[in-house]
Structure 1
């Protein structure tokens, strides 16, 4: 038995929560303030996500006050605590993408890295600017322009050229889908026949394609919009793979309404259609044929995730995600 933050595989978590990064991090957070004038009044470190023995995400907040004017300011960043050296690889990737964006070479942005502290296997990141796509969809109003901007940014990301070697193959993807399908069949026996038919269609229909850059974890709370810029966060899973896995993954999260309970189902489908039409207007036509099967697979994975997280009303949500998968694959079954 383990109790947060005492984690036998994350021995670096407790020192980070105890303030071990203060000397390394705080001068970087306060670089735009005149030295000597500002006093730190409050320092808070709050967990935002924790996966036992795997990693943690923390919100690091400083409240400072000007000694002369009594003006107060807040500075915030996020810390990702890793079990292994994946954070070092993510830091290098984010730095390369940030440099490229600043040079005007990319139509999208990424959350800016602040530092990677190897001794504590911890990556510090700036707070993403603007609202998340999730907030925009929930806020109501016309979100079409935002979705089209996101679609163009995802298309550009999938066609970008970075010196990566790690690949997520079709076999890897099918293994992911089958694991999720097995979980859904166990959790919801009444869906067994539907899930088996969908999985069989995916295995029979998908073929290998030339690999391209993929995020592998695109969802509405991993995409932010600041003015005209689209910003991606959580790039720990970036690899080479079938590029339409990214739009399929995002569309699955939208149509299954993950984190979007207040968005009506018909509006979620309309949002997905807006995104899909814009995305495929900016990528090679050869990418389109396998998209629906990737969408089906992504919805099965989403259904498995809903159960694993034990979301409120999970049986209803899992069934709805599988129904969306059937809706996405009428010609494949």
Structure 2
């Protein structure tokens, strides 16, 4: 690169002593559009693990309308920087408003099912024990802020502690590890899975559940109605189930949804410090208990 080449750097996220995410735009001396890249700097070797795992995945080989991954293009080992192609796409919520929430969720389910069937080496593993410890830590913090949440929080913890499907997943495969509406873009009709920092080997229902929990977050933020979200949850789960060759046990799915509602969404409400924080935490804990109390198939998610 020439020394006088204009470079524009935008900080997207910064966590002191942990990581920094950047958007880097490099101008060209030709009339072509600038080169745009995404850079993630970390204080550990996670970037190197992801580089080894995903550099051989042919992200551009997926059929149109199927899905693709945000593709790593280089790793700077000395600076611990992982470089990705910049994904220019439409956000999930915008696509859902234009094409319909159910259509967007079906496409997301197909993309997730295909991703779970990729053969990816060099990924670390996660365990139910690790996720359960996170549940304990986060519910304790919630109860410290809102003592009235102690009973519903303890009920969720006790139920998951006794749920065999949570402790003994029916299947293990590569998972995104943080799959939700904000990690999905659309380039035309093609879903693009982005931000694979949390990718690992684990229970695929963890991804399914976190996407479902994210839909309820959108409902709580009045992006979509409760009825639309309930129907979309059902269609997403059914489409995913049809797209994978393994069983999707409903009790295990409900358990993972409850975990995601508490660990991700109720805890996010706590960290938001918004005026509705306590009501939001209570809402997601109540929804988690509702899922754990289901004795009928998750078709009831559609309000039937």
State whether TM-score is above 0.5: yes
- Flag the 1:232–1:168 CA change in 2: closer, same or farther, 3 A: same
**Conserved? CA contact 2:53–2:123, under 8 Å:** no
Aligned pair partner of 1:96 in 23, 47, 56? 56
1:300 alignment partner in structure 2: 262
8 A Cα contact 2:219 2:229, kept in partner:
no
Q: Is the 8 A contact 1:256 1:320 kept in 2?
A: no
User: 1:116: Cα distance to partner?
Assistant: 1.2
Greater displacement, 230-239 / 127-136: 127-136
Of 116, 124, 140, 2:75 maps to 116
User: What residue is the counterpart of 2:105 in the other structure?
Assistant: 147
Q: Is the 8 A contact 1:255 1:324 kept in 2?
A: no
Partner-residue secondary structure (3-state), 1:120: coil
Residue 46 of structure 2: aligned partner? 86
- The one-character-per-residue Cα deviations of 1:30-84 (angstroms, maximum 9, x if unpaired) are xxxxxxxxx85x5321111111111010111234464xxxx57333221111111
Change (3 A) 1:234 1:258: farther
SS of alignment partner, residue 256 of structure 1:
helix
Q: What is residue 196 of structure 2 aligned with on the other side?
A: 235
Q: Spell out the pairing of 1:3-152 with structure 2 (5 A cutoff).
A: 23=1, 40=5, 42-64=6-28, 66=30, 71=31, 73-97=33-57, 99=58, 101-102=60-61, 107-137=66-96, 139=97, 141-152=99-110
Higher helix share: 2
Q: What is the CA distance between 1:308 and its match in structure 2?
A: 2.5
Relative distance call for 1:271 and 1:85 in structure 2 (3 A) is same
Task: Provide the aligned C-alpha RMSD in A.
Answer: 2.7
Inter-partner Cα distance in structure 2 for 1:257 and 1:127: 25
User: What is the TM-score normalised by the length of structure 2?
Assistant: 0.85
Pairs aligned (count): 289
Q: Verify the 8 A CA contact 1:80 1:122 in the aligned structure 2.
A: yes
Unmatched segments (≥5 aa) in structure 1: 1-22, 28-38
- CA–CA distance in 1 between the matches of 2:14 and 2:199? 20
* Cα separation, 1, equivalents of 2:122 and 2:45: 16
> Per the alignment, in what secondary structure is the counterpart of residue 201 of structure 2?
strand
- Whether the 8 Å contact between 2:172 and 2:203 is mirrored in structure 1 is yes
Structure number with greater CO (CA < 8 Å, separation at least 6) is 2
Which segment drifts farther, 272-281 or 296-305? Answer: 272-281
Confirm whether residue 316 of structure 1 aligns to residue 279 of structure 2. yes
Q: 1:229 to 1:141 in 2, by over 3 A?
A: closer
Determine whether 1:248 maps to 2:209.
yes
**1:181 aligned to which of 139, 143, 155:** 139
- Higher Rg: 1
Please give the per-residue CA displacement for 1:243-277, whole angstroms capped at 9, x wherever unaligned. Answer: 11110011111112289543333333332222112
Judged with a 3 Å threshold, the aligned counterparts in structure 2 of structure 1 residues 268 and 193 are, in CA distance, closer, same or farther, namely same
Q: SS where residue 257 of structure 1 aligns?
A: helix
